[in-house]
Amino acid sequence: MSERPLWAPWRVEYITGDRSAGCVFCAAVQGKGDDAALVLERGDRCFTMLNAFPYASGHAMVLPYRHVADLLDLEQDEVGELMRLARRCIGALRAVMAPAGFNVGLNLGEAAGAGIAEHLHLHIVPRWAGDTNFMPVLADTHVIPQALEATREALTAELAQLAD
């Protein structure tokens, strides 16, 4: 069998992006509108956004507005809102995408796998039975079947309907 390339041109922005301009999370929230920044929901101290370079459809993150790297640096009200928004995001993902489960977690520090270690972010990754195939294992490639804009539209509509 001959090798065939799988093109994922959207990844080049992440790979070659200019990281000298400061924190991409802070810039995403301050410089763009919510649509462009993929923001799903805003709280008083934290916000939820889609991952622009997702591991799976619906891969979201909850972040404090404050630029902090460590969980121990968060104030108690930030921790509470981080969890409240995570719960709301999971509820919306369940309603919109019907995943069989979730991976939810923090990668604190580069050694722990944080791609952007300087601004804490809680990952919420929906999972389905059999959603892992040979692509991530052999080609370090993830197949995302839905456009980020369509995912954002569905999730923001659902979050608007959810009660706390």
Q: In this predicted model, what pLDDT tens digit does every residue of 99-115 receive, in sequence order?
A: 999 999 999 999 998 88
Query: What positions carry a catalytic annotation?
Result: 121
Q: Rounded to whole angstroms, how far apart are CA atoms 78 and 143?
A: 33
Contact call for residues 82 and 46 (beta carbons, < 8 A): yes
136 pLDDT higher than 60: no
- In this prediction, residues 37-45 reach a mean pLDDT of 95
pLDDT band of 137, cuts 50, 70, 90: very low
Q: What pLDDT does residue 29 have?
A: 80
Domains, the chain, in order of start with CATH, read 21-161 (3.30.428.10)
Residues with Cβ within 8 Å of residue 8, at least 6 apart in sequence: 141
Q: What pLDDT does residue 54 have?
A: 87
pTM: 0.77
